[in-house]
Amino acid sequence: MKGNAYFCAAFAVLLLAGHALAIRHHERPHRLSQGVSLSTVQSPTFDLCPTCVSFTGQALDILLNIILNSGVVGSCGTLCGELANKTGNKDLGVVCDLLCDYVGIKEFIKFIQNADLDPIYFCELLKVCKIVDNGDAKFTSLEVHPATGRRGRTFAIAFDWTTTNGTGTGEIVIEVITLDHLPVGTGNLIEPQQPGSYSGTASLSTDNSGCDPSQGPCEQWLPGQYTVKVAICNGECGSTHPHSQIYDMAEATFNITADASRL
């Protein structure tokens, strides 16, 4: 894959309404069922943007609640220390301190309140993620291999896309429309790319043998036809904030037959 792509912990849902694909901002699957995983390419240079987006996806809602419940927060240390205490995660507190000190406590709190739980927009407000508003992208192919396979196997998802003007900080999101309507999806943060052609891959495991029903409903991967939907966006897919738009969307289908164990 050409260019930089980073795994983002927040998952996006693509919903089919008639023949239109509706992407709902902030609507995320409550759990990743039998893992869709995207390939990633690491940046050779130090870059705060993916760190900021990953941190924000985990912490923004908690920070907002701390601010609303505390009333007055006097320093970055106080706010970020409370975040570390509430989450039991000292690393989140360290990243919070780093980003907060970068802009100051007043601006940091203002951006948290204005971001509306949008990690990419928040990090653009902090000026650690680059803004590009004249970008574009278009999918040129999307395939699932094999087109038909038995339940329990791993399917490969491959896609290609091009950009004429380059892209802004955004994401590629993938969702599988399942027969029992449980959310299965993932997303990749994509930092600004130069004009050119790009490709990506994802893997989809349909083995649910390790699924724990006590943690929530398990995707059953019933025999039938499934649809894979992908979107590439500037900013968070479905966001109404500035610097956000859906560049392009594509879809493909694949079929699941009986369990491999029944051969």
More confident of the two residues 234 and 220: 234
Q: Given a cut of 90, is residue 38 above it in pLDDT?
A: no
pLDDT tens for 64-81 read 999 988 876 789 999 999
* β-bridge mates for residue 37, sequence order: 203
Q: What is the pLDDT of residues 174-225, one digit of tens each?
A: 999 999 888 899 999 999 999 999 999 999 999 988 888 888 888 999 999 9
pTM score, whole prediction: 0.79
Evaluate the omega torsion of the peptide bond into residue 146 and state whether it is cis, within 30 degrees of 0.
Answer: yes
Q: What is the CA radius of gyration of the chain?
A: 19
Q: What pLDDT was estimated at residue 64?
A: 93
Sign of CA dihedral 83, 76, 244, 201: negative
Q: Which domains does the chain have, with CATH numbers?
A: 5-43+131-262 (2.60.40.770), 48-125 (no CATH)
pLDDT in tens, 106-153: 999 999 999 888 999 999 999 999 999 999 999 999 999 999 999 999
Which of 249, 258, 254, 257 is closest to 177 using CA atoms? 254
Question: Is residue 179 a contact partner of residue 245, using CB atoms and an 8 Å limit?
Answer: no
Backbone φ and ψ for 177, nearest 5 degrees, come out as -80, 110
pLDDT band of residue 23 (cuts 50, 70, 90) is: very low
* Per-residue confidence (pLDDT) for residue 206, from 0 to 100: 93
Q: Give the chain's mean pLDDT.
A: 83
| pLDDT at residue 40 greater than cutoff 90 | no
Query: Is the pLDDT assigned to residue 9 strictly greater than 50?
Result: no
* CA-wise closest residue to 259 among 148, 184, 153, 157: 153
Work out the average pLDDT over 153-178: 96
Q: What local confidence, expressed as pLDDT, does residue 10 receive?
A: 22
In the structure, what pLDDT confidence band is assigned to residue 7 with cuts at 50, 70 and 90? very low
| Per-residue model confidence (pLDDT) at position 212 | 82
Residue 254 pLDDT greater than 80, yes or no: yes
Of 104 and 259, the one with more pLDDT? 104
